[in-house]
Amino acid sequence: ELLDVVAFSKVIIEEFSEIKKIGQYIVLNTSKNVALLQLDRKLVRHILMNVLSNAIKYSAENTTIYFNIKESAHWVTLIIKDEGIGIAKEEQNRLFERFFRAKNAQNIQGTGLGLHIVKQYVELLDGTIELRSEINNGTTLFIKWPKAVVL
């Protein structure tokens, strides 16, 4: 299925519009108006819902989430950056494990399953996911998919 990742991201962001009430905003930035990829809409929905839920949940009120979509010759990259609590360096390599929760997230609700499933889905769609984070200084996720080969 050919999916416009830009238009679809806008739809998903719209579903989180109630976060405005606590002063949180998701700001979408794209170099292209359209980014067509051969992706399963249901899996992409699940991926974006999880990743944006995390960005919101692990950030304080009155913070911004930056959602960038970049396109190069062969790849489309989604970059989701928050201004939240961050993740300690020594825990970062465990985040995609089932049930893993960081120390600084213990008093925030969660099962530790979201990112594990996200990684499975991203890879099922031939993509990669990477994370950059600093404790108390926000987290950035990079999700990269190869561009559709049009035959």
Applying CB under 5 A, the residues found at the interface with Mg ion are 54, 114
What are residue 109's phi and psi, to 5 degrees? Answer: -60, 140
Kindly state whether residue 110 participates in binding ligand ATP, applying the rule CB under 6 A. Answer: yes
Strands (E) across 47-138 are located at 64-71, 75-81, 128-133
127 in contact with ligand ATP (CB under 6 A): no
What is the four-CA torsion angle of 25, 59, 141, 18, rounded to 10 degrees?
-30
85: contact with ligand ATP by CB under 6 A? yes
- Sole window of 1-9, 20-28, 34-42, 104-112 interacting with ligand ATP (rule: CB under 6 A): 104-112
Is the CB of residue 62 less than 8 Å from the CB of residue 22? yes
Do 65 and 57 form a contact (C-beta atoms < 8 A)?
no
Specify the stretch interacting with ligand ATP by CB under 6 A; choose among 9-17, 34-42, 71-79, 111-119: 111-119
- Interaction of residue 105 with ligand ATP, rule CB under 6 A: yes
Give min distance, CB of 89 to ligand ATP, in A.
13
Q: Does 84 bind ligand ATP (CB under 6 A)?
A: yes
Q: Under the criterion CB under 6 A, does residue 122 sit at the interface with ligand ATP?
A: no
What is d(CA 19, CA 28) in angstroms, rounded to the nearest whole number?
15
**Termini Cα distance of the chain:** 14
Tell me the closest approach of the beta carbon of residue 71 to Mg ion, in angstroms. 27
